[in-house]
Amino acid sequence: MIRVQSLTKDYGSRRAISDLTFHADKGEILGFLGPNGAGKTTTMRILTGYMPPTSGKVTIGGHDVIEDSLAVRKIVGYLPESVPLYNDMTVFEYLKYMADLRGIKNARRRITEILELVQLEERSGGYIGKLSKGMRQRIGLAQALLHEPEVLILDEPTIGLDPKQVVKFRELIRSIGKDRTVLLSTHILPEVQQVCDRVVILNKGRIVTEDAPEQLQARLMGSQRVEVRVDLNGTPESRLNDLLAALEKVPGVINITPKTGGRFEFETAPGQDSRPEAARLIVSTGFDLLDFHPIKMSLEEIFLQLTQDEPGVPESEVDEISQESREFNEEAAAGQAGDNQ
């Protein structure tokens, strides 16, 4: 549905996005994740036909966004980050204006439908200037959905909403996204996990990686980390230390990190599942095993790792870091594959 090839955009001498290539299929909810300034909004503005790229090709629904801009705009619904609205119009007047601009027949009926969908029917006659932030966001979304677009492009749609509103909004997106293609940008990581089918991570105008949220976790967790808790029961510390020392000798166990209260963590090397042997060792040494569970790398850690920014890292080195991430991922994937054998 959305095909982006080698997209580049310069603002004068500043390169905002560089050689982006990605796609989103029909019915997919694609997340655009990246720190502020990564180029998410720029990319979206190009996709919606607001501004032209410096180079590269973008097609939405088969139409080129430059040559066939009007055709693209007809099938795209867009909500910019600032949710711009006319404060002195009523909700109904505004949606009617938008509907008329898009040539929607039976505008009245459609507006009522949409307002029900975003749960704002009672506010139809109220002035937009009087609405809360959450309501404004929903009006913006209503505007984007008015013409039943095949593609929805939402720029940081949950910014500024309170937690309850955020939950509702995400549910809405999920239900809307079922038969539409949605491109959603955010720097809120849980959002990506809860809503998106796939995520593209952007940093400094480049794509760092692209995958489904769970796959990303798997790829970066080439090694497994396990947290263990044993019952101390007045056991002297020396006995625990002996256990840890013995554990170190188990093949494939690396990086033992002791914690308090009988807890410790260990890591298994890529390609090796040392968990059974480790568990057996613990029990056979006479300890009561209270807890033994894998630690998943949170998306936050993945994100930080992939967008690692040492102060003063020159542009050229960012490429290297990205390249290193890629290589690391590949090795990890290979290791994981071996692991699953």
Which residues, other chains included, contact 132 with Cβ-Cβ below 8 Å and sequence gap of 6+? none
Candidates 276, 274, 288, 273; CA nearest to 243 is: 288
Report the residue from 23, 56, 68, 98 that binds another protein according to the rule CB under 8 A.
Answer: 98
Candidates 124, 91, 6; CA nearest to 54 is: 6
Minimum distance from residue 129 beta carbon to another protein (Å): 11
Distances (CA, A) of 250 to 126, 282, 290, 335: 69, 11, 20, 19
**Cβ distance to another protein smaller for residue 98 or 240:** 98
Query: Does 88 help bind another protein (rule: CB under 8 A)?
Result: yes
Q: Tell me which residues in 65-84 interact with another protein (CB under 8 A).
A: 70, 73-74, 76, 78, 80, 82, 84
For residue 329, the Cα-to-chain-centroid distance in whole angstroms is 18
Query: Does 180 help bind another protein (rule: CB under 8 A)?
Result: no
Report the residue from 50, 92, 292, 328 that binds another protein according to the rule CB under 8 A.
Answer: 50
**Cβ distance to another protein smaller for residue 149 or 335:** 149
**Cβ distance to another protein smaller for residue 102 or 229:** 102
CA atoms lying within 13 Å on the CB side of residue 43: 37
**Cβ distance to another protein smaller for residue 52 or 62:** 52
Candidates 121, 116, 132, 124; CA nearest to 165 is: 132
Show contacts of 101-104: CB within 8 Å, 24+ apart: 102/74, 102/146, 102/147, 104/146, 104/147
Minimum distance from residue 117 beta carbon to another protein (Å): 19
Query: Does 269 help bind another protein (rule: CB under 8 A)?
Result: no
Please give the residue ranges that form the binding site for another protein (CB under 8 A): 45, 48-52, 70, 73-74, 76, 78, 80, 82, 84-89, 97-98, 100-103, 143
